[in-house]
Structure 1
Amino acid sequence: MTGKELDIVTQKSLTGLTPENATYVARHLVMSGRLLDDNPEMAWQHAQAAQRRGGRVAVVREAAAIAAYTAGHFREALAELRTVRRMTGDDSFLPMMADCERGLGRPERALDLALSPEAGRLDEDGRVEMLIVASGARRDLGQTAAAVVGLQVPELRTAQEAPWRARLLYAYSEALADAGRAAEARDWLERAAVADVDGETDAAERLDELAGYSFSEEELPAAPRPSAPVTDASDGSDTSGEGR
């Protein structure tokens, strides 16, 4: 592993560093990317190492943000995302920022971001990602009917090839379950399992667990909500310098 495994755009972004630092940062970025799915905590450690020497490069801060988010370090992820957004002016990080707020136990702030003018300018992918986060925030607040309505968008049935399709179907199933609409929730969970060819959700596992379960009067057991490992009441502001 030399660091040249990075894509050419990322390699070029490191040219402002000294050759020694660029190589060091690149190697840690490669390792962070490789470990992200199987060992997110170790991926976060590698991303931090890259950030310490390459923190003025936006792509390095973005890698640190994604690693922190994946590892459940929502306060750190939020700080990094804010920094990346300031450095690049890119609002596409807003859904992840909102999800960090939800992970920190602050669903009201997640909804504030979802309703912001900047969120209204997101492209389709970003808009749907934000709808998913906002629905989860509504569920956190006990607003189950609003959580369902918020996901009743044309993309539920029309976006067959979209990268977020399985997660949208899954989120809709969760919202229906929380609203006590068990049969519909089961139906949409099955749709999510079919759509989830990459294993982004646990829809298939939940269906296996529910095999033989009767839904005549009972509710579909809701999937566990994201835990909030960080309970700091601060706003997550970055002291050094953005919402799946």
Structure 2
Amino acid sequence: PMGRLFWFGPRYALGMPKAMRPRPGPKAGPKTRRPGLPPDVVSELRHMSRTGKADMAIARLERAVVLLDRGDAPGAAAEAAKAKELAPRAPGVREILGLALYQLERFSEALSEMQAYRRMSGRADQNHIIADCLRSLGRPDRAVPLAEEALASKGVPLAAKAEAVIVASSALADQGKFDQALGMLRRIRTRDDVAGPEVIRVWYVTGSILEQAGRRADALREFRKILRHDPSAFDAAERAAQLA
């Protein structure tokens, strides 16, 4: 989970230069998830929905979460938009609507919803989505301050911090600022013998930026480091073979 609701997988890779887009691995089996929203989101909706509309808003948002988790972003966006009509000031509604719009690559609308979520909730746990929307809209310079805020926020989980750093470093690489991009990636401390999913992603983007910068030997070391932990991660094996 990321934030108070759910994390449905980053799509910001779509905005990366082609060489930096990780390829998805084999599709996982069907997901199982307990139905229902987190209690704090339900409480939020009960207090912030229009009079007499709380139950309907909860049902709409629950449906949006289920659809988004199934990969039905259009359906999720439609349900979340209906929830927004019933509870426009509920941060959780704006968050899910923003995630659905982001999945649909409707970046301007997603940005508006995610900025509303950030303003209403005071949270920085979706800064990576905001940053990538801005990057996709031609404003990559805005990504770094958002990553800095996420890094400095105690309530942001490591996975969200890592994603914010990845977006910011990719934005810097877009501008040819490779040293700054690599410095940003080093803000996520890693150990060669420990590799969770977020660390694998940081290493992958590090390798890609090193390759972009012409540092092929260093890039090869990053991809080989990934392969020691997960031989099937993204297209790391192919990238390593090309660099060897």
The residue that corresponds to 1:53 in the other structure is: 86
Are 1:5 and 2:36 matched, yes or no?
Answer: yes
Are 1:140 and 2:174 matched, yes or no?
Answer: yes
Q: Of residues 45, 64, 74 in structure 2, which corresponds to 1:41?
A: 74
| 1:62-73 equivalences in 2 (<5 Å) | 62-73=95-106
The residue that corresponds to 1:232 in the other structure is: none
Q: Write out per-residue CA displacement over residues 90-131 of structure 1, whole angstroms, 9 at most, x where no aligned residue.
A: 23333332222112121122234445xx45632373544332
Give the letter for the 1:171 counterpart.
V
Q: Structure 2 stretches of 5 or more lacking a match?
A: 1-34
The residue that corresponds to 1:189 in the other structure is: 223
Aligned length: 206
TM superposition shift of 1:159: 9.3
The residue that corresponds to 2:18 in the other structure is: none
Query: What is the aligned-residue RMSD (CA, Å)?
Result: 3.3
- The change in CA–CA distance for 1:44 and 1:158 in structure 2 (over 3 A counts) is farther
Partners of 1:107 and 1:151 in 2: how far apart? 16
Are 1:204 and 2:201 matched, yes or no?
Answer: no
TM superposition shift of 1:161: 6.5
TM superposition shift of 1:82: 1.8
TM superposition shift of 1:136: 0.7
Structure of greater relative contact order (alpha carbons < 8 Å, 6+ residues apart): 1
Q: Of residues 145, 153, 178 in structure 2, which corresponds to 1:122?
A: 153
Q: Structure 1 stretches of 5 or more lacking a match?
A: 198-202, 217-244
Contact 1:95 1:130 in 2 (8 A): yes
The residue that corresponds to 2:19 in the other structure is: none
- Secondary structure (helix, strand or coil) at the match of 1:35 reads helix
Contact 2:50 2:87 in 1 (8 A): no
- The change in CA–CA distance for 1:63 and 1:134 in structure 2 (over 3 A counts) is same
Partners of 2:181 and 2:98 in 1: how far apart? 27
Identity of aligned residues (%): 31
TM superposition shift of 1:137: 0.7
